[in-house]
Structure 1
Amino acid sequence: MIPPDMSRPDRRGAFFLLFFSLMAIGAGNTMLIAAVLPPLTREIGLPDWMAGAVFGLSALCWSLMSPFWGGRSNRWGRRPVAALGLAGYGVSMLLLFLTGLLTLTGVLTGTFLMFACLAMSRSIFGLIGSGTNPAAQAYVADRTSQAERQSEIAFITSGFSVGTVIGPAFAAALVATLGLLSPLLLTAIIAFTMSAMIWFRLPEDRAPVTDATQIEEIPGARGLWRSGPVLPFLIFAVCLSLTTGVLTQVFVFSVMDKLGVSGKEAAQFTGPAFTVGALAVLLAQLVLIPRMKLKNKTLMWGGCLPLLAGALLMVFAQDYANLILAQFCIGLGQGLARPGFSSGASLAVSPQLQGNVAGLVISANGMGFIITPFFGLFVYEYVHPQLPFLFCAALLAFMILYARFGLKDGVGEPDEDEAADAL
């Protein structure tokens, strides 16, 4: 059944507003990962694994709070939760800027104190900033038919990917001209601006539910994460999160070590590499997915193939060209696989549970990053630099088999009658 406001003229404008909001988050995150935090931690003398631990603690908060915010978006409405998340993201980036400034100027000293301040600042993103993604995904699910859910979710999530294209390019220029911490301040300003735009401009006709029992009494709301239709998609999402987390975080340090660069100079190499990866995500989400019309299950196992190629390339790559190619493969794989399980989980539940399942999917997206510092950066630094990539290759091989043969046919796919009507 098509939602009643499917033909509203403001729907596309609302989707674009959410697109740009996720783009702001994507740009800021990539600037932080690719150009700011790794060089900053090496500049102030923190071990590499602590940079990963900063993201790991934030990911723990993200995974714990995303289901909460997904449920709150059912009760309060999608708009206020999305706006609150962006405001929290802005606060997090502002505090990271201030912490970095204090450490570089020598006001803040001591390994534990510097790490604690960085970790707590970033954790605000996980605690509060995690509200934007599930609210945005649920907003789209409220306003799309089953047949268009996959392509529209891919469009919204591609906003994050556009941000990751813009982020590294801006980060390299900003770091070179205005200093290492300038991307953080710019991101905070943009996040606060987008929060205000969401609050004042996003159409929200869906009345918030003031009675909590109306949410709790929805069939299937309790224990949704372990239900038969949803759990397989969440398992795949956690595995993909772990894989991409390791590949993303270790990639930065691997580039610095293989090319013999560090500090500000590193951003000139890691920034363009992440831009290529993000362009590959856009190729998958804005070109391949709308045209290929593949099943969600096929997108999941098919997306793991280029990811596997990227992981193996990282084992053998010794020059910048192969590192760029590896990042392209990683981006292409993410761009195919993420909309597959996100759309599949959404289609596996009723319209009343879209906020709940969106929160679970976003939570699963962050779970892998909780242990990434141990499977990735710690192993890279203290065991063997190629082992994280071999671990990812083995996990991806399992995921291909799991998605291809472990998922039931038809689960998480559009209703055949509705899909036929849409065509």
Structure 2
Amino acid sequence: MRSDGAVWCWGANDYHQVGPMDGDVTMPTAVPGVTGAVAVVAGAWHTCALLTGGQVLCWGRNNHRQMGNSSTEAIQATPAPVADLGNVVALGAGNDHTCAVLNSGLVRCWGRNDAGQLGDGSFVSSTSSPVPVVGLAGPLLAFALIGLIVLVMLRWRLPDDVPRFAARGAVASYPLSAGPGEPAGDDDDPDDDAGDATPLRWTDRRIRPWLLAGFIGGQAQAMMLGVIGFLILDRLHLRLKPDEGAAITGIVLMAGAFATLLAQWGLIPLLKPGPRATVLAGAALGGVGILMTGVAGDLHAIVFGFAMASLGFGLFRPGFTAGASLAVPRRDQGSVAGMTASINGSAYLISPAIGVLLYNWHAMAGYGLMAAFCGWLLLWGWSALKQDQPVG
């Protein structure tokens, strides 16, 4: 860089990282279009210059969106401005990414992100526009921290699960499960003596299979929800059209919501399956839907696969909840309700991040793990979950 703000470069020019000149440049040569430069940084195959007004120009290889603009060309030979970036006071470049320090003290980065180079808390493989570095306040870590705080507050502030007063009335069957249609208890049930009740434990053999089923199936559903947006952007080539990608993601999620309602408001009341049948059918449909989504190549296939998986999970969740509830007497209903709620919530603490991490490595790695969870649940649950009682 010269004192007059011109930039001169030389060397290997395989991807026009030196400039628009053809071939390697053996002598220092002015880069056309760059004036008023105050700093120059170079990555492995791209170069960027900081101008006096706080703007940034980049040129060279663009396979990981190193140019920081909407260009989809693999090579950008002439310097072009980085989009949505100004008031820059310093630059730094890695092999395939670049970071800028703003006059406010904030840092924004763009380019390759397969190893978290951009520091935004995401696992997106690359980004074409500068994103803020948020470090430990990144979205995934922030959400996990919020979840942990909620769990601590619930444990600290909620009263004990042991009932303080004896229950009154009769117990009716769970409305969405197979079971006796008439009240199944009365006020004189000796099992309801709260004073002699032993606190229900997570290791209790009556509920342990149901809780484990809920945990495994919940991880698969949480991963599926965490990854679907990235799949839509990649399969439909919408990385550079985030608004359109968000709209289509909303359509896919809406289809999943309708499928879930169909399961819980339609199929379960109509067919009246027991908890075991509901869990196993849900695992089978969920696994098939996940695999169909993972290999889908167009919008229709994505919607169909995601809806089928959502239909399965719409069966699975009420099934495991009902199975755990019906496995214990009424004095333990408060405890088992808290346990099933904890199982449902725990799935969203870390599983979505794991799913996105695996998807970023290979799409079918994430979807394969989700399907494996469903397959294991189906095979294991066939023998481990208590047989449904016939409708009386």
**Same fold by TM-score, threshold 0.5 exceeded?**
yes
Note the alpha carbon deviations across 1:150-206, whole angstroms, 9 max, x for none. Answer: 489xxxxxxxxxxxxxxxxxxxxxxxxxxxxxxxxxxxxxxxxxxxxxxxxxxxxxx
Q: Does 1:367 align with 2:346?
A: yes
Match of 2:335 in 1: 356
Question: Is 2:361 the partner of 1:398?
Answer: no
Distance 1:219 1:314, change over 3 A: same
Question: In the alignment, is residue 233 of structure 1 matched against residue 214 of structure 2?
Answer: no
- For the residues of structure 2 that align with 1:67 and 1:148, how far apart are their CA atoms? 30
Corresponding residue of 2:220 = 243
Q: Which amino acid aligns with 2:377?
A: M
Which one-letter code corresponds to 1:239 in the other structure? I
Structure 1 residues 275 and 149, CA, compared in 2 at 3 Å: closer, same or farther?
closer
Aligned to 2:293: 314
Q: Which residue of 2 aligns with 1:281?
A: 260
Deviation at 1:390, TM superposition (A): 0.6
How far apart, CA to CA, are the structure 2 residues paired with 1:65 and 1:236? 26
Kindly report which structure 2 residues correspond to 1:89-128, keeping only aligned pairs within 5 A, or say none: none
Structure 1 segments unaligned to the other structure (5+ residues): 1-36, 78-138, 153-213
Q: Verify: 1:326 aligned to 2:301, yes or no.
A: no
* 2-structure distance, mates of 1:346, 1:71: 20
Please state which structure has a larger fraction of its residues in helix: 1
- Could you report, residue by residue, the CA deviation over 1:271-313 in whole angstroms, capped at 9, with x for unpaired residues? 1111110111111111110111111101001101111112111
Partner residue in 2 for 1:257: 234
Q: Which residue of 1 aligns with 2:15?
A: none
TM-score (norm 2): 0.55
Of 138, 148, 154, 2:175 maps to 148
- Cα displacement (A) at 1:354: 1.3
Cα distance in 1 for partners of 2:154, 2:277 equals 26
Q: Which residue of 2 aligns with 1:385?
A: 363
Q: Superposition RMSD on alpha carbons, in Å?
A: 3.6
Count residues in correspondence.
249
Deviation at 1:52, TM superposition (A): 4.0
**Deviations 1:213-258, CA, capped at 9 Å, x for gaps:** x97x552314x21100111111011101110010000111211222
- CA separation of 1:290/1:390 partners in 2, compared to 1, >3 Å: closer, same or farther? same
Where structure 2 has 5 or more consecutive residues not aligned to the other structure, the ranges are 1-120, 180-192
Deviation at 1:408, TM superposition (A): 2.8
CA deviation after TM superposition for structure 1 residue 44, in Å: 4.4
Distance 2:176 2:258 in 1: 22
CA 1:324–1:358 in structure 2 vs 1: closer, same or farther (change >3 Å)?
A: same
CA contact (8 A) 1:380 1:387 kept: yes
Q: Tell whether the 8 Å contact from 1:60 to 1:366 is kept in structure 2 after alignment.
A: no
Q: What CA deviation, in whole Å up to 9, does each residue of 1:102-143 have, x standing for no partner?
A: xxxxxxxxxxxxxxxxxxxxxxxxxxxxxxxxxxxxx9xx98
Highest RCO, 1 vs 2 (Cα 8 Å, sep ≥ 6) = 1
Equivalent-residue separation in structure 1 for 2:217 and 2:341 (angstroms): 12
**Aligned in 2, Cα 1:347/1:263: closer, same or farther, shift over 3 Å?**
same
Tell me, what secondary structure is at the counterpart of 2:175? helix
Q: Is the 8 A contact 1:233 1:344 kept in 2?
A: yes
Give yes or no for contact 1:70–1:358 (8 Å, CA) kept in 2.
Answer: no
Structure 1 pair 399–149 and aligned structure 2 pair: CA distance change class (3 A): same
Q: Which amino acid is 1:229 matched to?
A: R
Equivalents in 1 of 2:132, 2:346: separation in Å? 28
Tell me if structure 2 keeps the 8 A contact 1:280–1:335: yes
What's the CA shift for 1:404?
1.2
Displacement of 1:385:
2.4
Q: Is the 8 A contact 1:56 1:372 kept in 2?
A: no
Quickly say closer, same or farther: Cα 1:339–1:62, change in 2 above 3 A.
farther
Q: Secondary structure at the match of 2:287?
A: helix
Q: Alpha carbons of 1:43 and 1:275: their partners in 2 closer, same or farther (altered >3 Å)?
A: farther
Aligned counterparts of 1:249 and 1:300: Cα–Cα separation in 2: 22
Displacement of 1:69 after TM fit? 7.6
